[in-house]
Amino acid sequence: MKKILLGLGVLVAIGAQSGLAAEHAVFTPGDIKWMAAPPSVPKGAEAVVLYGDPSKEGPFALRLKMPANYTIPPHTHPKPEIVTIISGELNLGSGPTVDKANAKMLPAGSFFAMDPGMQHYVVTAQETVVQLNSFGPWALNYVNEKDDPRKQ
């Protein structure tokens, strides 16, 4: 029994040092307060950080609400992108240009994960909410500089 308790204590200590146990967050859908998404995504989307801080080291969870007929042009991330489609549907494609005909439609409940540096884009036909989990510091780097809303 002492070995089990010691092992649990070590796991808790490791989790606390990594930041995993540093914050307690519980949200119901009514608790979520949407705000304008960061300037790294095209205008029209809303976002909320549910856990952590995407600008700092450590894990985070962020939700992004995109309107109908919305596109995030081809981009990459320096860390893995782990996404669950909460509502609506998302068309996911890969490569340096948007090609809606070759994008895969992912309905609510779908999941995808992208390795760092993978070129991809998303297109919505209806309002869509996704949850992005990853590790900070987070960045969105556009493949084509002209697509970057921060430079327009």
Write the DSSP string, 64-81: EEE-TT-EEEEEE-SS-E
Length of the chain: 152
Tokens representing residue 74 in the block:
């081809």
pLDDT tens by residue, the chain, 152 residues: 333 333 333 223 323 333 444 467 888 888 899 999 999 999 999 999 999 999 999 999 999 999 999 999 999 999 999 999 999 999 999 999 999 999 999 999 999 999 999 999 999 999 999 999 999 999 999 999 999 999 98
Name the phi and psi angles at 145, rounded to 5: -55, -35
d(CA 47, CA 90): 16
Q: What is the C-alpha to C-alpha distance for residues 118 and 76, in angstroms, rounded to an integer?
A: 6
**How far is it between the farthest Cα atoms of the chain?**
62
CATH fold of 25-151, please? Answer: Jelly Rolls (2.60.120)
For the chain, domain boundaries: 25-151
